Amino acid sequence: MRIETVAIEGIVAITPPRFGDHRGYFSEVFKDAWFRENVADVTFVQDNESLSAQAGTVRGLHFQIAPFAQGKLVRCLAGRIMDVVVDIRVGSPSYGKWLSQELSPDTGKQLWIPAGFAHGFATIEPNSVISYKVTAPYSPQHDRGIAWNDPAIGIRWPFDERDMVSSDKDKTLPRLADLPSHFSYSAQQPQD
C-alpha cells in the first residue's frame, strides 16, 4: 500500500495496489496488521456507508467527543467526492486549517482521519457512495459538528454554497469560534 503524506499532521492518504487483468482487478483495501504498523494502532468497531444521490450534497463537518471520539478510514465506492478534514485540536500548529482529498473508486485512495478532526465531504458526482470504518460506535449524545460554510475556515467547496444541498442539522452547526475545546494537541515525542 502506498502512503501519501499530506499537509496536516495525523492525516494519512492511503492507496492500495491493484492487480488487474482482462477480468478487472483485485485489491486488498484493508489489512489490520499493516494498518496498525504503518498508520495507527487502532481497532475499528463499525463500518458505515452512505449514498448521496445529488451532486453538490455536503455532509459534515462532523466528529464525536470522548469517550466516543472516532477515528475514520474513508473511501468512495461509487461516484466521486471531495473529502474534507478540519483540525480542531486546540494548540495544534494547524488548528482551524483544512485539507481535502478527492476520493473515487477510480483511484481507490482512502483517507485516515484520527480523532481530533472534523470530517465532511461534498459529492462531485451524483449517486456517490461512501464507506468508512470507525474506531468507536455512533453515539448521539457525543455527536458534534462545525459549520461546513464557516468563513473563518474558508473551505473551497467544488460548488457555489447556494447550490449545495445539506441537512437541516448541518445548517445549524456552530462555527469554529463557538466550539468548546473538545480535543487538545500534543506533539509526538521522538522515541529513543
Examine the residue annotation and report whether 62 is marked as an active-site residue of this protein. yes
Examine the residue annotation and report whether 132 is marked as an active-site residue of this protein. yes
In the chain, the amino acid numbered 108 is G
Q: Which of 6, 165, 7, 13 is nearest to 93 (CA)?
A: 7
Q: Catalytic residue among 22, 25, 62, 182, which? A: 62
- The pairs formed by 1-8 with CB atoms below 8 angstroms and a separation of 24 or more are 1/28, 1/31, 1/34, 1/38, 3/38, 3/39, 4/109, 6/99, 6/101, 7/94, 7/97, 7/99, 8/85, 8/87, 8/94, 8/97, 8/99
**CB-CB neighbours of 28 under 10 Å:** 11
Q: Catalytic residue among 132, 142, 182, 185, which? A: 132
Task: Tell whether omega for the bond before 61 is within 30 degrees of 0, i.e. cis.
Answer: yes
Catalytically active residues are 62, 132
